Amino acid sequence: MDFELWWLLSWPLFFGAGWLAARIDIRHLVNESRALPRSTLSGLNFLLNEQPDKAIDSFLEAVQLDPQTVELHFALGNLFRKRGELDRAIRIHQSLVDREVISEEHREQALQELGEDYLKAGLLDRAEAVYLQLRSTSRNEVANDSLLQIYQQEKNWQRAIDIARDMPRRGSHRWEVDIANFYCEIAATAMARSDFEAARVQLRLALESNRKCVRANLLLGEVLSAQGDDVSAVEAWQEIAHQDPMYLSLIAERLMDAHRRLGHEEKGAQFLKTHLGQTPSLDLLETVFKWEIERKGVDAAYTLVRDEIKRNPTLLGLEKLLEAAEHTIAPERKGDLDMVKSLIHSHTRRVARYCCKDCGFKARQFYWRCPACGGWETYPPKRTEEFDLAI
């Protein structure tokens, strides 16, 4: 009985303690709200009512009344940046960076925001200087990401290489792919000024970074061919078959030209036909089809395309079959064939495109770097129809 009485007496104490705690919290909240400038509350109200212009005016007034409102400065700077008023955003974030009394965390945040302002404004040199200050801080990863973006925009490939080497692995992303392509970009620049030895050095570095870099062997073959060494050029290009045979379509024409100069045209055609059977490709079929129709005649070319369509049915392949059939059909029927070819061509123009596997951006020409998302080697060397369509 005493035990039950004790519990009955304790209930009012519990309720009293709860009421007292609630009163303290409410008083604390009221005191905090009173400490805020009225203009801050007005600004929040304008934001909720989707009146950003009035909200900005209220926040500016609050900042002038209380310069210590760091978070409000950040909110105001971000609002300016989203509105495209970059000069005002820069002034807000620069004022935070220049403040003498500010925590290190807030200073780093202000530097990051300032760097974003400069990037949006296209002031890459200033953005670079800001992000260099953020390296080796808690925002090192953000700084490296931004610096890598800047150096790629500036085509400063050597600095991009240095930054990418310090980047941590992210899931399935392999930085060695990017680094190898940076070396290829340097090599391509050297090739443009006919400095083939410098290009070869960079391409060797690309292959050391990523032994599966198809682009490096493709460019190496071009360098060797330009230097008159077709034997070594053919070896470099044929190495692509071991890296990723799907990319042979990109060098099929050049490979056949090199074999032709060496007097080994039949050998080159057989090499391409073998890989066409293993890895279907419309571009590869185009090269082999031209050789067949020139060297072995229309019937052989027709048979080649017909067999390929049976294995890999596409409208683009059908268009090639009709081209071969045009040489064998009776003259009075050519008008009908031309009409069919025209109908098919009007459709294939829409599907004869390359497509980025990361962002889906489509283009008529092949890119090593997607113009939309900036990813390296995100374009498979196959047309859209080869992935999406079947007859």
Determine whether the annotation assigns residue 356 to a binding site: yes
Tell which wins on pLDDT, 295 or 323: 295
Contact by Cβ (8 Å): 190, 202: yes
With a CB cutoff of 8 Å and minimum separation 6, the contacts of 71 are none
Whether 41 has a pLDDT exceeding 50, the answer reads no
Average pLDDT over residues 243-260: 91
Contact by Cβ (8 Å): 371, 153: no
The pLDDT tens digits of the residues spanning 147-158 come to 999 999 999 999
pLDDT for residue 72: 72
Average pLDDT over residues 64-74: 63
Nearest to 374 by CA among 212, 152, 122, 124: 152
d(CA 231, CA 295): 23
Contact by Cβ (8 Å): 163, 198: no
Whether 293 has a pLDDT exceeding 90, the answer reads no
Tell which wins on pLDDT, 390 or 171: 171
- Output the pTM of the full model: 0.75
pLDDT for residue 168: 80
Determine whether the annotation assigns residue 355 to a binding site: no
With a CB cutoff of 8 Å and minimum separation 6, the contacts of 330 are none
pLDDT for residue 352: 62
pLDDT for residue 36: 47
Q: CATH code for 67-164?
A: 1.25.40.10
Residue with tokens 């079959």: 321
Tell which wins on pLDDT, 152 or 380: 152
Please return the burial class of 264, using the count of CB atoms within 10 Å of its CB with bins 0-12, 13-18 and 19+: middle
Tokens in use for 203? 């391409």
Average pLDDT over residues 104-121: 92
Q: How confident is the model at residue 18 (pLDDT cuts 50, 70, 90)?
A: low
Tell me the domain boundaries of the chain: 67-164
Whether 32 has a pLDDT exceeding 60, the answer reads no
Average pLDDT over residues 101-111: 88
Phi then psi for residue 235, to 5 deg, are -60, -40
Whether 34 has a pLDDT exceeding 50, the answer reads no
The pLDDT tens digits of the residues spanning 341-369 come to 666 555 555 556 788 888 988 888 889 99
Which of 8-12, 100-104, 307-311 has the weakest average pLDDT? 8-12
The pLDDT tens digits of the residues spanning 114-143 come to 999 999 999 999 999 999 999 989 999 999
Residue 384 belongs to what H/E stretch? helix 384-388
Tokens in use for 137? 């801080």
Mean per-residue pLDDT of the chain:
78
Nearest to 91 by CA among 117, 68, 116: 117
Determine whether the annotation assigns residue 184 to a binding site: no
Could you tell me where the DSSP H helices lie in 194-229? 196-209, 214-226
Q: How confident is the model at residue 24 (pLDDT cuts 50, 70, 90)?
A: very low
d(CA 10, CA 25): 23
Whether 229 has a pLDDT exceeding 60, the answer reads yes
